[in-house]
Each structure stands twice: as C-alpha cells, then as structure tokens.
A and B are shown apart, each in its own frame.
Chain A
Amino acid sequence: MTEDQRYDVVVVGAGVNGALVAKCLTGRKLRVLLLEAGPAAAWTFDGYVKRLDDFYGVYAKGPEAPWPAAVGAPQPDTHDVRTGGGYFVQKGPHKYASSYTRYAGGSTLHWLGVALRMLPEDFSLHSRYGRGRDWPLGYADLEPYYRKAERELGVAADVADQAHLGVEFAPGYDYPMRRIPPSYSDQMLAATVDGMRLSLGSEEFALKIRSYPAARNGIPRGDFVPDGAVDERTDGQALGRDIGQRCQGNTACTPICPVQAKYNALKTLAKADHRYLHLVTQAVASRINVDPASGAVQSVEYKRYTEADSPRHTVHRATGRVYVLAAHAVENAKLMLASGLGNRSGELGRNLMDHPCLYAWGLMPSPAGAYRGPLSTAGLDDLRGGAFRARHAAFRFDIGNDGWHSTTGAPDSTVADAVYTRNLFGKQLRRHLGSNLSRQIRFSLAVEQLPSADNRVTVDPQYLDPLGNPRPVLSYRIEEYTLDGMAAAAEVARKVFERAGITDCTNPDEGTWFPSVEHGDEVFHYHGMGHFAGTHVMGDSPETSVTDPDQRSWEHRNLYVLGSGSFPTMGTSNPTLTMAALTLRTADRLVAELAS
C-alpha cells in the first residue's frame, strides 16, 4: 500500500454498511479502499474457532467478551455503564446503555439477527401522529431495497407472518429462506396468547406470538443457497464454508454464533471482488480534510497501529473521488464533528436514539424447553403501530429461548441460589433445577425513542483515546413519551404473563444490575439494544438535516454518510435491515455516478 494509489472510493468502516457498499462498488470494477479501525475478527474458520474456545473460559460472558477491543480502537462496553468509566464520556442525565464493536464485521459479529422491516407508518410519524420527524422517503421507496437486503443478508421468514400493520410485499415475493421453526415455548405461549385482546386507550388489539424475520440460515426457498462460515483460505484447505449452512440452536447468537449460521458482515466482505478491494484493518480514520472553498473532501487521515495492545501508530492519508463514512452512527458523527465539517442545520451529532429495553421474566406453568434454539425465535409485534403513538411510544417484545440468562445470570444464578441459599443437594437439587430451569422465560420490551436535540454526541479535546482521537461525549435523556411507552409495555407484559399462566418473577433487585430511570412512582430498569440512530439525520433540506435522502452530505458533495445515524426516527424495528436497504440504495446512486 502506498499513499499514491488512487482509489475511486474511500470507505471508512467494515461493518455491514461498509461491507455492502464495498461489495456493490467492487462488483462494478470500482477501486475501493476500505479502512477498518479494529482488527480483523477471523478470516479463517480455525481462527474463529480459537476465539470461540477462548470465550468458553471467560467468566463474565457479556456481548463484548469474544471481541476484546484493541487499544487503538476502543469501544463502549456494557460493564462500563455501571462504573461510569470506559470509552464513552456520559454527561447524562440518563445512562446510554448500548455498545458497539470496532472490528472488521462490526456489531454483526454479535447481533441477534433480527431483520425486521420498518412499518410504513414509521416513516411518517410526524404527519400521522404529530410526533418526531417524517422521513424524506417512504416504505414504498425502500421496498425493492428491503428485498435486496433480505437476499444479501440471507433472511428466513414467511411473508404470511409478516404482512400486517400495513407492511406490504411485492406480489409473489417470499423471503429467501423459510421461517426459523418456532421454539416449543413459543408454541406453548401461542396456545394461550394468540387472539388475546387488549386495549391501549380506546384502541383494541389482538395479540399473536409471531416469528420474526431472522438473518439466520434455515431451509432455503427456490434457488437460494445459504452462506456458511467465512473461511478465506487460499491454500485449498478451507472446510469452514460447509459449516453454518443451518442454525444448530447454539443459543449464543449474542455474543458469538459458533458456526456462523447467523449473518455477519464478513460474509459480505468475502464476496466482494478482491481485485478491486483494498482492506486495511487497524486503521482508524482520524480526520476528514476538506477544501474550504468548495467544501469537497480532499482526503481522509488515518492512524495505523500494528499491535492490538499498543497505541503506537503511523499516520497516513487516503484519497479518492468519493468518500463514504460507514463507521457507525456515533463514530461517523464524532469524526465529522472532530473534523469541523459543515453543520448548517445544527443537527450533526444530535437526535441520538436507542431502544431502551425492559426485561420481564417468569416461570412457565410447565416445562418449556428453555436454553435451546436461537436466543429467540418469536416476539409480539402487534403494538408496534397504532393511534396511541400520538400519546406514547410504541414497543415490541422479543421472547427469549434463553431462560433467565440475561436477566439474572442463570443457569449459574439458579444453581447458586439452590446450593448456597436453599442448601439443596443430590437428587433433590437436580429435580429442583430440572423443573425450574426448563420453565424460565424472559421477555424483552423494546421501546421506541423519539429524536431530541438534547440527546447528542459531541467531542471535547479534554477527552481523548490512547491514539489521540476524541472519545464520544454523550448527553442522553429518556423523555416522557418513551417513559409512558415503558409503562404501557410493562403493563402489557404483566397481562400476557397472567394470560399464559406465567408466574411473574420480575424483580430487578434480584436480577443483573441495569441503569434505571424514574417515572412517577415507578422505577424502570432498562438496558440498551445496541440500536443507535439519528446522529447524522437525513432530510429534504440542508436547513434541517445533515444528508439528503441518498445519504449524501448536503455541504460536502463527495461525502456519503451511511448507517442508522441517517434515520430521522427508528420505529420499533432493529435498524440493521433498514440501514442495509438504505446502503444498497445509496450504492446504486454511487455506481451510477462513478461508473459513467
């Protein structure tokens, strides 16, 4: 690699957006330099297995455990939320509880794999309900790209389950793979909960336990061939690609799928045309240099470190015709702010959103087969849309197959309770655990958050990381709209538990620690879903947004900014599929612009 090499496009970030745009562009013979701040996770399957083996020996198996940060590319860690240390500088008043991963592959290395489309109404929250913002495009504009994204990621679902709440599919379309089989506990729940009616205000809803579209390998439809594990060996010794053709039910999607049956962005990167792709890992973009007269980006400065445990680095400059930031909602905004880029609208870094999420947990009336299958296979989607959104946030439930693992640290915590507190032993202990563990169930209640000017990422020269790059400084508050949504969600969970005969055991005092927020008499203990959004919002005017609907910077016309940072609102769906669709749409624009 030399400084003189000319590229068509310089892309910052090799997560799902960077990987997708690199694949699209190199597929059209455009030369791409892809800079990734973190290390390469594992290009060979035996390298990946070593990470897995290390992970088995880790005591606190959180989402970041298999993916330790390099010194030069620090990342937020959920453990830091409690102590207040770590990469994020949190100004409050509430704690932003999510994290992300700076590695080739990004957060898709440990995501759950939920690939929901946004609802049509999510794109026009303001026109419909007088809340939040409208998107500058609609569901219909994105629909063809949702289909492309579903094929690229490899999504398993049945249109028959998903065509509700106004979501429409192209005639004759069905997902690339059949839906992942619902778990036995999903089936048990469906037997009592399906058809259950409840009201929010004056609106009535009927509930249904519903499979969610999953970027997880299942039985293919038509000519679709699932991608197995990434095993990029050129010595003819690769066997990993035969592995991961189907989900095996490892119950560890987060933090690491042992066989890569779940989509991760390395799969897309592996399919890019490597004759035109130059991937440089351990390369942290540190400054975007702009021509003050024209506003055009002239180069990206980056710092290259060679050892994961040392900040020693060299400084380089990358140039191209076009520049693409795909480094994550927070990192994109941070880099743009640190570089002093144009911010006419004042929105850069603002409107930081998450899906703050509550837990509810309990015991099913009879053995449900907990701790089997993917981490989850179904949810409750019926309250993602409705007129109530004029008053309070919408929400979505994820129904876990992993017992009380996330909520209390089970099964270890259940065993410890039985042994150290109840003093059980022998067959009695075994029976107690047998009947308890199998019945454990948890719901995750993910609540929508609206954009707010005060929720933001900024930079401050007094807070720097070991490479001298700024650390993200966050200001964050969960407002009434979302708090009222949390209250509604918690109440629905209680009703569903009652209907299903689940003994409610939700007790934050006995569970794992999570940050909390007060709402009237109630205290909500919430965690982050890893769903960052809003920090470089797209819109139809440079007065009110950072990028246009193609994710192109208004003020720097050869700069594109990809990812969920572009979202004006996030609805209640996990952002990955929507940002992938937006990226594919932007990629089409880029190819049209550059390939001519």
Chain B
Amino acid sequence: MSSERTERFFDLSALLTGFDRAQLLGTGVADQYRRTLEQVVCDEVLDDLLRAYERLPAGERREAAVRSEILDHADRGPVARNLIMLWYSGTWRPLPDDWRKAHGTSPLDTDRVVSGEAYVAGLQWVAAGAHPMAARPGGFGSWALPPERIDA
C-alpha cells in the first residue's frame, strides 16, 4: 500500500472504529489488517472505498454521508463493516453472497482469526474496559475494583 493509501486507511479506520490513530497503531497489528484487506478485496474496490472516505463532507453532514456513501453502499458497506470487525475482534468474516457475486470470491474470504496477536489486540476488549480472555490480565484482585471509566 502506498503511503498515501496507508494514511487514508488509517483515517477511515479511525472514523469507523471510534479509536484514534495512536490507539490503532498501538494494537501492533495494523499491517496485518491492511494485508488481510488487500488479500480479499481487490485494489479497485479498496481504492474506491478510500476515495469515498476522502470525499466525505466535514461538519454536520459528515455522519449522514458516512451512512449513505459508505455503510449503505452495496460495494463499500460490506467491506467497511468487515474492517470494523477486524479492528475490534481480529477476525475476518466472509463477505455476503451478493458482494461475492459482484466482485469474486477470494479463498481467504472465510471465518478466521487473522493471527493470535490480532486476537489479543482486538479493540473490543478495550471498549469493554476489560482485557482479552487468556491474555493481558489485570492482576490479582483487580476484578474486585470498579470497572474502568469507559471513555469514548
């Protein structure tokens, strides 16, 4: 991915996930997610999605535009949702049949955990104010303390 494409990838990811760039980079698996996307989704669709992001208006109309131009869009929506799922859970889910009929099916478009590292780095655990099950625990007695304030 070119550096400009990478920038757009991060900006789009930050917008879709609600986490900032430092937090996304901080997962340590940003490269793995980019590669996963590139393996399953052809350049044409990816570039189209990123250009759609660039065209989003600023200000009040932005949120509605995210829905109409990206999430509700037949080609871009499923990819965008899978991208959110990647960041949050470290897993890939197969794209819908309609999408596959239109754009083809990659052999990597299956239910899978991208890597053990990605499982641990999933943002869902951060969103929950907790930790990935079987990793990064809070330490003895930490579970008796009130939960972390969840800042979004």
Q: Name the one of B15, B18, B138, B150 contacting A372, with C-beta atoms under 8 angstroms.
A: B138
In the complex, whether A411 has a CB less than 8 A from a CB of chain B is yes
Complex interface residues of chain B between 59 and 88 (CB less than 8 A to chain A): 63, 66-67, 71-72, 80-81, 84-85, 88
In the complex, whether A205 has a CB less than 8 A from a CB of chain B is no
Q: For B139, what are the chain A residues with a Cβ–Cβ distance below 8 Å?
A: 248-249
In the complex, whether A52 has a CB less than 8 A from a CB of chain B is yes
Q: For A55, what are the chain B residues with a Cβ–Cβ distance below 8 Å?
A: 116, 134
In the complex, whether A251 has a CB less than 8 A from a CB of chain B is yes
Q: For B146, what are the chain A residues with a Cβ–Cβ distance below 8 Å?
A: 184, 369
B82 to chain A, nearest CB (A): 9
Q: Name the one of A61, A415, A425, A431 contacting B71, with C-beta atoms under 8 angstroms.
A: A425
Q: For B128, what are the chain A residues with a Cβ–Cβ distance below 8 Å?
A: 370-371, 403, 411, 433-434, 437-438
Determine if A57 and B135 form an interchain contact, defined as CB atoms under 8 angstroms apart. no
Q: For B142, what are the chain A residues with a Cβ–Cβ distance below 8 Å?
A: 249, 372-373
In the complex, whether A26 has a CB less than 8 A from a CB of chain B is no
Determine if B147 and A369 form an interchain contact, defined as CB atoms under 8 angstroms apart. yes
In the complex, whether B30 has a CB less than 8 A from a CB of chain A is no
Stretch of A140-148, A349-357, A416-424 lying at the B interface = A416-424
Select from chain B the residue with minimum beta-carbon distance to A217: B140
Q: Name the one of A248, A367, A405, A425 contacting B133, with C-beta atoms under 8 angstroms.
A: A405
Determine if A373 and B143 form an interchain contact, defined as CB atoms under 8 angstroms apart. yes
Determine if A435 and B91 form an interchain contact, defined as CB atoms under 8 angstroms apart. no
Q: Name the one of A59, A252, A377, A414 contacting B113, with C-beta atoms under 8 angstroms.
A: A59
In the complex, whether B127 has a CB less than 8 A from a CB of chain A is yes
Q: For A428, what are the chain B residues with a Cβ–Cβ distance below 8 Å?
A: 18
In the complex, whether B104 has a CB less than 8 A from a CB of chain A is no
Select from chain B the residue with minimum beta-carbon distance to A186: B144
Q: For A248, what are the chain B residues with a Cβ–Cβ distance below 8 Å?
A: 137-140
Q: For B93, what are the chain A residues with a Cβ–Cβ distance below 8 Å?
A: 416
Q: For A415, what are the chain B residues with a Cβ–Cβ distance below 8 Å?
A: 85, 88-89, 124
Q: Name the one of A59, A252, A426, A430 contacting B112, with C-beta atoms under 8 angstroms.
A: A59
Q: For the complex, give the distance between the alpha carbons of A430 and B13 in Å.
A: 13
- Given the known interface contacts A369-B147, A426-B16, the answer about A437 and B140 at a Cβ–Cβ threshold of 8 Å is no
Select from chain B the residue with minimum beta-carbon distance to A437: B128
Q: Name the one of B84, B119, B131, B152 contacting A431, with C-beta atoms under 8 angstroms.
A: B152
Q: For B137, what are the chain A residues with a Cβ–Cβ distance below 8 Å?
A: 248-251, 258
In the complex, whether B17 has a CB less than 8 A from a CB of chain A is yes
Q: For the complex, give the distance between the alpha carbons of A403 and B124 in Å.
A: 13
Q: For B124, what are the chain A residues with a Cβ–Cβ distance below 8 Å?
A: 411-412, 414-415, 433, 437
In the complex, whether B130 has a CB less than 8 A from a CB of chain A is yes
Q: Name the one of A58, A369, A414 contacting B143, with C-beta atoms under 8 angstroms.
A: A369
Q: For the complex, give the distance between the alpha carbons of A491 and B31 in Å.
A: 50
A77 to chain B, nearest CB (A): 18
Q: For B98, what are the chain A residues with a Cβ–Cβ distance below 8 Å?
A: none
Determine if B131 and A252 form an interchain contact, defined as CB atoms under 8 angstroms apart. no
Q: Name the one of B113, B117, B140, B150 contacting A249, with C-beta atoms under 8 angstroms.
A: B140
Determine if A187 and B144 form an interchain contact, defined as CB atoms under 8 angstroms apart. yes
- Given the known interface contacts A184-B147, A427-B152, the answer about A54 and B134 at a Cβ–Cβ threshold of 8 Å is no
Q: Name the one of B67, B72, B120, B130 contacting A369, with C-beta atoms under 8 angstroms.
A: B130
Select from chain A the residue with minimum beta-carbon distance to B136: A250
Determine if B152 and A434 form an interchain contact, defined as CB atoms under 8 angstroms apart. yes
Q: For the complex, give the distance between the alpha carbons of A372 and B141 in Å.
A: 10
Q: For the complex, give the distance between the alpha carbons of A246 and B137 in Å.
A: 12
In the complex, whether B111 has a CB less than 8 A from a CB of chain A is yes
Q: For the complex, give the distance between the alpha carbons of A256 and B125 in Å.
A: 19
Q: For the complex, give the distance between the alpha carbons of A57 and B152 in Å.
A: 28
Determine if A420 and B81 form an interchain contact, defined as CB atoms under 8 angstroms apart. yes
Q: For A448, what are the chain B residues with a Cβ–Cβ distance below 8 Å?
A: none
Determine if B116 and A423 form an interchain contact, defined as CB atoms under 8 angstroms apart. no
Q: For A57, what are the chain B residues with a Cβ–Cβ distance below 8 Å?
A: 113, 115-116, 119
Among A182, A371, A377, A429, find the residue whose CB has the most chain B CB atoms closer than 10 A. Answer: A371
Determine if B134 and A256 form an interchain contact, defined as CB atoms under 8 angstroms apart. yes
Determine if A419 and B85 form an interchain contact, defined as CB atoms under 8 angstroms apart. yes
Q: For the complex, give the distance between the alpha carbons of A402 and B115 in Å.
A: 22
Q: Name the one of A249, A416, A423, A434 contacting B127, with C-beta atoms under 8 angstroms.
A: A434
Q: For A431, what are the chain B residues with a Cβ–Cβ distance below 8 Å?
A: 18, 150, 152
In the complex, whether A220 has a CB less than 8 A from a CB of chain B is no
Q: For B144, what are the chain A residues with a Cβ–Cβ distance below 8 Å?
A: 181-184, 187, 373
Determine if B147 and A367 form an interchain contact, defined as CB atoms under 8 angstroms apart. yes
Select from chain B the residue with minimum beta-carbon distance to A259: B137
A245 to chain B, nearest CB (A): 9
Q: For the complex, give the distance between the alpha carbons of A147 and B39 in Å.
A: 58
Determine if A52 and B140 form an interchain contact, defined as CB atoms under 8 angstroms apart. no
In the complex, whether A336 has a CB less than 8 A from a CB of chain B is no
Q: Can you spell out 7 A-B residue pairs with CB atoms less than 8 angstroms apart?
A: A181-B144, A373-B143, A412-B89, A426-B63, A433-B88, A433-B124, A437-B130
Kindly list the 5 A-B residue pairs having the minimum CB-CB distance in the complex, ordered from nearest. A373-B143, A56-B116, A371-B130, A369-B147, A252-B134
Interface residues of A (CB under 8 A from B): 52-59, 61, 181-184, 187, 218, 246-252, 256, 258, 367-374, 377, 401-403, 405, 411-412, 414-416, 419-420, 423, 425-431, 433-435, 437-438
Interface residues of B (CB under 8 A from A): 15-19, 63, 66-67, 71-72, 80-81, 84-85, 88-89, 91, 93, 111-113, 115-117, 119-120, 124-125, 127-131, 133-135, 137-147, 150, 152
